[in-house]
């Protein structure tokens, strides 16, 4: 059992797991936007965006620097702190609002022109279909729900079960 898998088993719930993961390292992600988000949003007029599972804020920063007003949501306070700090360091803090939510239990309010769910995956039970349905209902008229996921189990993934179900489009 590798170290990452041991950490998963040592943590009893999703919130503690993600907070532990972020607190354990100075930076998990590269703070660059996911390519499909940047490619898609580059052609949209800026408006209100919701970044579900914002992590350390790479997507949030890209959106904010391109004129979007972003509600960045994550379960981990450390991730949200890093997102807010990244926005402040880049002079776009007025366009970024961070909110802590366990999306399995609650969802941010408002309507949005773009809702981004980039790799909204976890080693814990998560009612993804219900979360994405809620997201779709919070889109403004003509809004876009952009979902990007892994299409298969990666060798470094926490769940290498060959029977893992990957939802279809």
CATH 3.40.50.150 matches 3-148: yes
Selection from 111, 96, 118, 92 nearest residue 37 by Cα = 118
Computed over every residue of the chain, the mean pLDDT equals 84
- Contact of 140 with 113, CB cutoff 8 Å: yes
Q: Which two structure tokens, joined as six digits, stand for 80?
A: 């949200």
Q: Specify the DSSP class assigned to residue 95.
A: G
pTM flag (> 0.85): no
Split at pLDDT 50, 70, 90, the class of 160 is low
Share of the chain above pLDDT 90, in %: 57
pLDDT tens digit string along 8-18?
443 348 888 87
User: Among the listed ranges 11-15, 46-50, 61-65, 127-131, which one has the minimum average pLDDT value?
Assistant: 11-15
Q: Which residue has the higher pLDDT, 1 or 40?
A: 40
Q: What are phi and psi of 73, to 5 degrees?
A: -120, 135
Q: Would you put residue 55 in left (φ > 0), alpha (ψ -120 to 50) or beta?
A: left
| Digit-coded pLDDT (tens) for 99-141 | 999 998 899 999 999 999 988 777 677 788 899 999 999 999 9
The angle, 0 to 180 degrees and rounded to 10, between the axes of the packed helices 14-23 and 77-89 is 50
Q: Is the pLDDT of residue 3 over 70?
A: no
User: pLDDT confidence of 153, banded at 50, 70, 90?
Assistant: low
| Predicted pLDDT at 83 | 96
- Decide: residue 141, CB within 10 A, 0-12 exposed, 13-18 middle, 19+ buried: exposed
């Amino acid at each position: 059992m590798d170290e990452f898998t041991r950490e998963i088993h040592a943590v009893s719930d999703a919130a503690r797991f993600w907070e532990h993961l972020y607190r354990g390292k100075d930076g998990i992600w590269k703070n660059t936007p996911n390519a499909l988000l940047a490619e898609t949003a580059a052609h949209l007029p800026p408006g209100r965006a919701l970044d579900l599972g914002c992590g350390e804020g790479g997507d949030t920063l890209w959106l904010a620097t391109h004129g979007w007003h972003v509600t960045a949501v994550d379960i981990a306070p450390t991730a949200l702190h890093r997102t807010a700090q990244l926005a402040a360091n880049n002079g776009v803090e007025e366009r970024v609002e961070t909110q802590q939510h366990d999306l399995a239990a609650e969802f941010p309010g408002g309507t949005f022109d773009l809702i981004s769910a980039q790799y909204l995956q976890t080693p814990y039970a998560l009612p993804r279909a219900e979360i994405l349905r809620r997201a779709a209902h919070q889109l403004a008229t003509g809004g876009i729900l952009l979902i990007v996921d892994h299409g298969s189990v990666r060798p470094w993934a926490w769940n290498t079960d060959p029977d893992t179900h990957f939802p279809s489009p």
